[in-house]
Amino acid sequence: MQQLIEGYAKFRSSVFPTQSGLFEKLAKGQQPQALFICCSDSRVVPEVVMQCEPGTLFPCRSVGNLVPPSTETSSGVAATIEYAIRVLRIPDIVVCGHSDCGAMKGILESDQIESLPAVRSYLQHAGPSSRWLTRLLKDSTGFSFEQRLRLLTEANVIAQIHNLRSHPAVHDALHHNTVRIHGWVYDIGTGGIQQFDVEQGSFRPLLAEEQTTLAASSNRERRIA
C-alpha cells in the first residue's frame, strides 16, 4: 500500500501539474477511441501497451477477457458494452487475450479451480468453441502445455467476439457499420500483439513490419529445410 501512496504523491507533485490542461478537459467529458475488453490480470495494462493518454480507452476488465451473453447482466460487462456503444458511440472494440492467462489455465486444468466456485461458474462463458477445443486438447499428446494454452487463448478471443456480436447494441452498430471489432492476443514476455485475420482465419502480427519480418523468417526456414 505504501508504494501506491508514494505513487499518488508523485502524481500530485510531478505528473498532474504537467498535464493539468488534459485533466481539465477530461473533467468535462470523455470521447474514448476504443472499448478495450481485456483480462483482469495485473500484467495487462492497455494504456501502457498502447502508449495512450487518459480518456483514450474505455476499458472493460473481466476474468479471461470474457464477454457473457447479453442476458447475463450481473457481471456489469453487458452494461459497459451498451454504454460504450449507445452513449459514447465508440467506433472500435478490441477483445484482447494474453499469454499465461490464469483463466485459460483454469479451463485446461479444471482441478486447480475446484475451490473457486465463482471463478468456475464465470468461466462457463468461455464459449462453445473454447470448450470443444479444451476437450480436444486435453486428449492430445502432440502438444505441449504452452501450445495448448496458446491455442485455447486464441480460440477464446474468437468465441468472445461471437458473444459480443450478440449484444443488441453491438448488433445494431454492426448493422449500421458504425463499429468495428478486433481480436488481439498480447504476449506479456515479448510485448507483441497478434491480431485475428478474419479472411485468413488465423492470428498474425498487428504491425505490418512484424508481418514482413515473420514472413522473411519463414522463407529462410523453408530454404534451410
**Three-class DSSP labels, the chain:** CHHHHHHHHHHHHHHHHHCHHHHHHHCCCCCCCEEEEEECCCCCCHHHHCCCCCCCEEEEEEHHHCCCCCCCCCCCHHHHHHHHHHCCCCCEEEEEEECCCHHHHHHHCHHHHCCCHHHHHHHHHHCHHHHHHHHHHHCCCCCCHHHHHHHHHHHHHHHHHHHHHCCHHHHHHHHCCCCEEEEEEECCCCCCEEEEECCCCEEEECCHHHHHHHHHHHHHHHHHC
Q: What is the pLDDT of residues 56-94, one digit of tens each?
A: 999 999 999 999 988 887 778 999 999 999 999 999 999
Q: What is the pLDDT of residues 120-148, one digit of tens each?
A: 888 888 876 666 777 777 667 778 989 98
Q: What's the confidence (pLDDT) of residue 216?
A: 54
User: Of all residues in the chain, what percent carry a pLDDT higher than 70?
Assistant: 91
Q: What's the confidence (pLDDT) of residue 142?
A: 79
Q: What is the pLDDT of residues 2-13, one digit of tens each?
A: 999 999 999 999
Q: What's the confidence (pLDDT) of residue 43?
A: 97
User: Of all residues in the chain, what percent carry a pLDDT higher than 90?
Assistant: 69
- pLDDT band for 16, please (50, 70, 90 cuts): very high
So what's the architecture of 31-224 in CATH? Answer: 3-Layer(aba) Sandwich (3.40)
> Would you list the domain boundaries of the chain?
31-224
pTM of this prediction?
Answer: 0.87
